[in-house]
Amino acid sequence: MTDQTGAHLRALPSLAGQAPALDLAALPPDPVELFLNWLAQADASTIRSAKASQLAASPHVALTFWWQPLVRSVRVRGTVVQASRQESRADFAARSAAARQGVDADDWALWHGVPSWVEFWQGSEDRRHVRIVFVRDGATWHQEGA
Confirm whether 19 is domain-assigned.
no
Alpha-carbon distances of 114 from 9, 60, 64, 117, 118, rounded to whole Å: 14, 9, 15, 9, 11
Residue 122 binned pLDDT confidence (cut-offs 50, 70, 90): very high
Task: Give me the domain span that covers residue 103.
Answer: 3-12+26-143
Mean pLDDT of 85-90: 92
Is 5 a residue whose pLDDT tops 70? yes
Q: How far apart are CA 66 and CA 42, in angstroms?
A: 23
pLDDT at 35: 67
Mean pLDDT of 2-24: 67
Alpha-carbon distances of 132 from 3, 68, 69, 97, 136, rounded to whole Å: 24, 18, 19, 42, 13
Find the range with the poorest average confidence among 20-24, 38-42, 104-108: 38-42
Is 94 a residue whose pLDDT tops 60? yes
Q: How far apart are CA 130 and CA 121, in angstroms?
A: 6
What's 54's domain CATH number?
2.30.110.10
Q: Which stretches of 12-145 are DSSP H helices?
A: 31-43, 50-57, 85-94, 97-100
pTM listed for this prediction: 0.55
pLDDT at 18: 59
Over residues 72-85, the pLDDT tens digits come to 999 999 999 889 99
Q: Look at the chain and report how many structural domains it folds into.
A: 1
Residue 43 binned pLDDT confidence (cut-offs 50, 70, 90): low
Confirm whether 17 is domain-assigned.
no
